[in-house]
Structure 1
Amino acid sequence: MSDVKVEILKMEELPCALMSYSGGSRGFPKQYETIVNKHFQILYMEEFKKNKNMFAPKIQALLLWWHLPVVDKELLDSLPNLKVIASSGAGVDHLDLKLITSYGIIVSNTPGVGDDATADMGMALMFASAKNVVEGDKITHSPDTKEFDFNWVGNDITEATLGIIGMGSIGYCIAQRAKAFRMRILYHNRNRRTLEDERAVGAEYCSNMADLLHQSDYVMVVVKLTPDTHGFIGKEELQLMKPTATLINISRGQVIDQDALVDALNKGIIRSAALDVTHPEPLPRNHPLLTAKNIIITPHIGNATDKTRRRVAERIVQNASGILNGLSVTDIVAAP
């Protein structure tokens, strides 16, 4: 038997995984397909929809690349042998876990994989805002610029006070980085971390978030999106911040009341904001946040590095394959 035929037989023996589509701005990157092909036959939605009756019984795994495809009752009803949904990223707010688990399907995610990249992004936004990087770049490139205003200044990072709201794994990575800049680190979290953790980065716990907001030069929001954190930072919280403070959000757009933020920026209640997330994404082109004063908005690129995304793809596949083969998988998301 030829090597080609052997390879084809091996492929046919692999379980089938359904994915959204290949390439493009939101599809699964073509350069990572070899990672999936080691454990699964890939079937993309376009091909699946052309012949559901033939393909549906073969699909045992659904691999979600940044929330696609959308998982609803119609899709679940069409996949009688689906056993696992492996989702990229730590957040699962895009999934109806009660619905999915009612079908006996196991859900996994990829917590921790993007912590460093996301923490780097949080620091990058803080630096960019403090040092007027975006506005400075515009001035440098502008055809109207005749001279630089050397009396235009930004803010310091070194020895400033950073308040971290949400001291999970990403928040702690931020604290580790902030320590190198001799920042005073305050944090507010549902559960206090150990004294050993606090001492390692020099962090001070604030049981009352208002205490953190009053004192911080930079407020970094790193919480998960839950019913409790929806609109977590609103008008009242923004008014508690220093007028010289900067708000940075690398969690989810819904965590911040965006209307209240626009008002706070335009009225000078806070100095500035830097967001990697909004709601929706992208914002409508006429959204007032896009024309608010002193704001930087990036397109949800916190963990968008090749190394991180490749590791995410590997973890998705490992989780799905492990679950199908009865192996112990630590990234299983518990049903609500």
Structure 2
Amino acid sequence: MAKVVCVLYDDPIDGYPKSYARDGLPKIDRYPGGETLPSPKAIDFKPGTLLGSVSGELGLRKYLESNGHTFIVTSDKDGPNSTFEKELVDADVVISQPFWPAYLTAERIAKARKLKLALTAGVGSDHVDLQAASAHGITVAEVTYSNSISVSEHVVMMILGLVRNYIPSHEWVTKGGWNIADCAMRSYDIEGMHVGTVAAGRIGLAVLKRLKPFDMHLHYYDRYRLPEATEKELGLIWHPSVENMVRVCDVVTINAPLHPETENLFNDKLIANMKRGAYLVNTARGKICDRDAIVRALESGQLAGYAGDVWFPQPAPKNHPWRTMPHQGMTPHISGTSLSAQARYAAGTREILECFFEKRPIRDEYLIVDGGKLAGTGAHSYSAGDATRGSDTRAKLKHHA
């Protein structure tokens, strides 16, 4: 029997919910493009409940323990004395989330001699050293598409929030004010603006589709060009490089995976090539942006606003400069963990576990690393390498968090 270690974020500060704002979720059978939703043999949870926190357990305990497996769930993941570090040594399976990542560095992988499967409950496996996982024959899988639409909705919300100056305007109300001029002096319409996405995969394309009715000019950069029919339908302009695209855009949204080629892509040099007063939205990964370059650009006015819900490391220490920089709309990493998304990625996690334990093939679209090399979605979206460097910063700064 196997030992499964699952790292999830903490419960709400007032305790695990006894009731919810809504009674259920809309029924969705397929994702855009036709891919079916996760299809485990059964689930042991009610869709629409909080599954991504420690007490939610992704709805997995009954299934795993009834099959004789040991199931450890914790939120304590940072540093050599953490529960995760201690339990990892003899774990067969590790389940982690992009929102509360248990960084599987090469050093941790070397200690985990029994580890066979690193499973992401959600989308994005950059918290795993993919090079080390390949070398040790570890399968890396994620629940592709489970929260892609959730993230795309969050992107649109953030674009509107920045350009319309929503957050400061709301704050004037909560302060008891009626400061219309203060609100309006940084508020614009998005109509007629040029918006571009870095990567036009599931999330990037969904963002463009949602922005089309706003009568914006739509641009994209991706190393894989979209079909001509899609470009014509949406009126998309493809650019051969990120540098080429950002020069013409009023709004740029980052929807690319993190790997060595995208790490610190948005640095001082690239940001200087953007229009003065452009907006940047990043729901992809924090390390795609140079932390201090973003702060400098907001302070100088090169960027009119920055919004995102991804940081590095995660969770971010209290003194992270993105918490206090001007003209920002930051959130904790929540874009892909709505209650709607949780039902899908919890079901997908169970589907992958069922395949793994029953020695059935895992869906190709869920695979990132398999058989010692990038596979499935991983071969299309990632490059071999390690994006976990510096994750020990979180443990070093734990007392600030």
TM-score normalised to structure 1 length? 0.82
**Does the CA-based 8 Å contact 1:35-1:314 persist in structure 2?**
no
Distance change in 2, residues 1:303/1:60 (3 Å) = same
1:102 CA displacement: 3.8
Classify the secondary structure of the residue corresponding to 1:90.
Answer: coil
- Partner letter of residue 197 of structure 2? I
Letter in 2 for 1:30: S
Amino acid at match of 2:95: L
Letter in 1 for 2:62: N
CA–CA separation in structure 1 for the residues paired with 2:333 and 2:164:
21
Contact 2:267/2:293 (8 A) holds in 1: yes
- Tell me what 1:254 maps to: 287
Say which SS state the counterpart of residue 219 (structure 2) adopts: strand
User: How far apart in 2 are the matches of 1:69 and 1:256?
Assistant: 21
Among 159, 181, 188, the residue aligned to 1:155: 188
Within a 5 Å distance, the mapping from 1:222-301 to structure 2 comes to 222-301=255-334
Q: Residues 117-154 of structure 1, C-alpha deviation per residue, up to 9 Å, x if partnerless? A: 000111111010011111001111114x2653385351
Which of 18, 21, 24 is the matching residue for 2:5? 18
1:100 matched residue in structure 2: 133
CA distance in 2, matches of 1:288, 1:82: 36
Residue 71 (structure 2) aligned to one of 30, 39, 43: 43
Instruction: Give unpaired runs (5+ residues) of structure 2.
Output: 13-50, 75-82, 374-383, 385-401
Q: Does 1:333 align with 2:357?
A: no
User: How many residues are aligned here?
Assistant: 318
Compare CA radii of gyration and give the structure with the larger one.
Answer: 1
Match of 1:61 among 93, 99, 108: 93
- Aligned partner of 2:367: which letter? I
Q: Is the 8 A contact 2:52 2:58 kept in 1?
A: no
Aligned partner of residue 30 in structure 1, secondary structure: coil
Gap change, CA 1:242 and 1:99, over 3 Å in 2? closer
Deviations 1:33-90 (A, max 9, x none): 53453355452167xx7xx99x987x64332244655546786677665432222232
Inter-partner Cα distance in structure 1 for 2:302 and 2:110:
50
State the alpha-carbon separation in 1 of the partners of residues 340 and 244 from structure 2. 38
Tell me the equivalent position of 1:34.
59
> CA offsets per residue over residues 143-171 of structure 1, 9 Å max, x none?
4x265338535111223211111111110
Q: Structure 1 residues 244 and 325, CA, compared in 2 at 3 Å: closer, same or farther?
A: same
Aligned amino acid, residue 202 of structure 1: G
Do 2:255 and 2:282's aligned partners in 1 also have CA atoms closer than 8 Å? yes
Alpha-carbon distance in 2 for matches of 1:104, 1:321 = 19
More contact order relative to length (CA 8 Å, sep ≥ 6):
2
In the TM superposition, residue 322 of structure 1 has moved relative to its aligned partner by 0.3
C-alpha distance in 1, partners of 2:89/2:326? Answer: 51
Report the Cα distance in structure 1 between the residues aligned to 2:203 and 2:304, rounded to whole angstroms.
25
SS in 1 for 2:240: coil
Closer, same or farther: CA 69–27 of 1 in aligned 2, 3 Å: farther
- How far, CA to CA, are the matches of 1:20 and 1:90 in structure 2? 15
Change (3 A) 1:172 1:284: same
TM-score by length of 2: 0.70
For residues 277 and 211 of structure 1, what CA distance do their matches in structure 2 show?
Answer: 25
CA contact (8 A) 2:198 2:253 kept: yes
Does structure 2 conserve the Cα–Cα contact (< 8 Å) formed by 1:86 and 1:316?
A: yes
Taking the aligned partners of 1:107 and 1:100, their CA distance within structure 2 comes to 7
Q: Cα 1:312–1:236, aligned 2, differ >3 Å: closer, same or farther?
A: same
Q: 1:36 to 1:174 in 2, by over 3 A?
A: farther
For the 8 Å contact 1:39–1:321, the answer to whether it is kept is no
In structure 1, the gaps of 5 or more residues are: 1-13
Superposition CA RMSD, Å? 3.1
Q: Distance in 1 between matches of 2:226 and 2:102?
A: 36
Tell me how far apart the structure 2 counterparts of residues 64 and 222 of structure 1 sit (CA, whole Å): 21
Matches within 5 A, 1:74-85: 82-85=115-118
Distance (Å, rounded) in 1 between the aligned partners of 2:111 and 2:311: 33
Q: Does 1:109 align with 2:142?
A: yes
* Range moving further from structure 2, 31-40 or 195-204: 31-40
The residue type paired with residue 44 of structure 1 is I
Contact 2:199–2:256 (8 Å) recurs in 1: yes
* Greater displacement, 268-277 / 173-182: 268-277
- 1:231, 1:255 within 8 Å by CA — same for their partners in 2? yes
**2:240 is the counterpart of 1:217:** no
Residues 39 and 317, structure 1, Cα contact 8 Å, conserved in 2: no
Question: How far did 1:268 drift?
Answer: 1.3
